A and B are shown apart, each in its own frame.
Chain A
Amino acid sequence: MEVLRQLYDMTALGEIGETPGVLLMILIGAVLLYLGIVKKYEPLLLVPIGFGIILANLPGGNMDVVPAEMVELPGHRYMNLFEIASEYGIMNFVYYSLIKTGFLPPIIFMGVGALTDFGPMLRNLRLAFFGAAAQIGIFGVFFGAIALGFSAKEAGSLGIIGGADGPTAIYTTILLAPHLLGPIAIAAYSYMALVPVIVPLVANRLITKKEFRINMKKQDKLYPPKYKIKNLKAVKIIFPIVLGIVVAILVPSSVPLLGMLLFGNLIKEIGTTTSRLSEAATGPIMNTATIFLGLAVGATMTAKVFLDLKTLGIIVGGFLAFAISIAGGILAVKVYNMLAKKKINPLVGATGLSAVPMASRVASEMGLKHDSSNHLLQYCMASNISGVIGSAVAAGVLISILG
């Protein structure tokens, strides 16, 4: 009998029985795994996050991320990484060295930059403005969040979900409200995965049938661009360098994200000379960063932190931020069309989010449904890519004002 008791005490069964919230968290982790594996919703992030949640919530595993106060020492000092690892386990070592320092999101942004082609935006530069208009959800939802009882920093972290950019949302939250990292990361990536549902939901309510049929190619023929790019490769190489310098001067707090994005893009555009760097940035480095980011973010989601009314507020507020951003882009196009001769399909505005390229693909398919000759993809990509820049700048503003 004593042997059985010893065996029982060795397992986590007793602790699971005492804290039923753990079972709910394991269920949430399993649901995320299901969405990632079976439904293929953002599997590269949801699978590590889901598994991280399960690991963190199994009692005795020492894989849950502890609050910052627990690693704080008297005199505003912190435990060193060796002490953190030996006291609280390897997941805290990963979290405090790679996440809490804000290291991984810019590294992922470097990979995103190396996968991004600024070509469509450079060919349709005026469409970049709609990437700005679609950031309205980030700042708009701030009011609602304050009314719901969120602090200013928490409201800023919630609002950034409206930028539809996972690394940006994580980076901003680490700096403003790290205790909300788990729910905000989950909400951001879930809504990004739901772009094929949310974009049509908003667009069908705001765009008329006549507007859906605005054919961008025909508009280009009616009102051709003033000049053609005679050496796109050279423009693509110089562009990230010049833009990086200008943005660094105007919004320095956005540089960790935007600077790394532009660096990644530069090593891609240079071509064969730096192809090994861009292959590393988009392959091993980005993949490794994604694994650690996902697992550590999942490990922050313990029952105590996640099962809270604020999580519900984040889920609702995140959706509103997302929807307001899409609506902002669409309405900006409508205003533009009232003033300009050359009309723009409002679906281009709907893609001002930075969920690249899914938002563009969804909008393009919607356009084709209304007019089979209306290929919008390259136009949508223009505002979509500018949305990446826009959301990183918006994050910089939030960090510099609220941080």
Chain B
Amino acid sequence: MTESFNQAWVLLGVGMVTVFTVLLLVVLIGNGLVLFVNRFLPESESGKPGNAGFKSAIHPSKVAAIVAGVKNVTAGRGNVVEIRKNKKI
């Protein structure tokens, strides 16, 4: 029994230190990535030309309707990558 209790103390110590260490690493990795991305891969102010672009130009409810329509017609296989107005029509 005493041996088991000693093991319990070891487990408590090792376990909590490991969990805190891993989550400390989560915080450090997260912060490091944010700094890296902000410095080297920032998204432009106007957003990307693809998805972000059409989202700002077209009302979100219209985008949602188009996406839902495409999903329905293609049985969930299709995805909307870009929405553009056809100027010729």
Q: A: which residues have CB within 8 A of B?
A: 121-122, 125-126, 128-129, 131-132, 135-136, 138-140, 142-143, 146, 152, 155-156, 227-231, 233-235, 238-239, 242-243, 246-247, 250-251, 272, 275-276, 279, 386, 389-390, 393-394, 396-398, 401-402
Contact = CB atoms under 8 A, between A and B. Distances in A.
Contacts of B14: 397, 401
Greatest chain A CB density within 10 A among B1, B19, B21, B37 is at B19
Interface string B24-55: 11110111011111100111000000000000
- In the A-B complex, the 7 residue pairs with the smallest Cβ-Cβ separation, listed nearest first, are A230-B42, A132-B23, A231-B43, A139-B12, A397-B15, A272-B79, A125-B30
Interface in B59-79: 76-77, 79
Contacts of B26: 121, 125, 128, 243, 386, 389
Contacts of B7: 152, 401
Given A231-B41, A242-B29, A131 B23 contact: yes
Interface of B: 1, 4-5, 7-8, 10-12, 14-16, 18-27, 29-31, 33-38, 41-43, 76-77, 79, 81
Given A140-B12, A397-B19, A146 B5 contact: yes
Contacts of B33: 235, 238-239, 242
B15 A234 contact: no
B10 A401 contact: yes
17 contacts: A128-B30, A131-B23, A138-B15, A146-B4, A152-B4, A227-B38, A229-B37, A233-B43, A235-B34, A238-B33, A243-B29, A246-B29, A279-B76, A390-B23, A393-B19, A393-B22, A396-B18
A73 to B, nearest CB: 32
Which of the listed residues B7, B15, B41, B79 has the most CB atoms from chain A within 10 Å of its own CB? B15
Contacts of B24: 129
A238 B29 CA distance: 10
Chain A interface, DSSP helix/strand/loop, else mixed: helix
Given A132-B20, A242-B29, 10 more contacts: A122-B34, A140-B12, A230-B43, A231-B37, A231-B42, A234-B43, A250-B18, A276-B77, A397-B19, A401-B7
Contacts of A276: 77
Contacts of A143: 5, 8
A24 to B, nearest CB: 32
B35 to A, nearest CB: 7
A376 to B, nearest CB: 20
B2 to A, nearest CB: 10
Contacts of B25: 243, 246-247, 250
A69 B3 CA distance: 28
B61 to A, nearest CB: 21
B24 to A, nearest CB: 7
A129 B38 contact: no
Contacts of A121: 26, 30
Contacts of B18: 250-251, 393-394, 396-397
A132 B34 contact: no
Q: Which of B5, B21, B34, B41: most chain A Cβ within 10 A?
A: B34
A152 B4 CA distance: 7
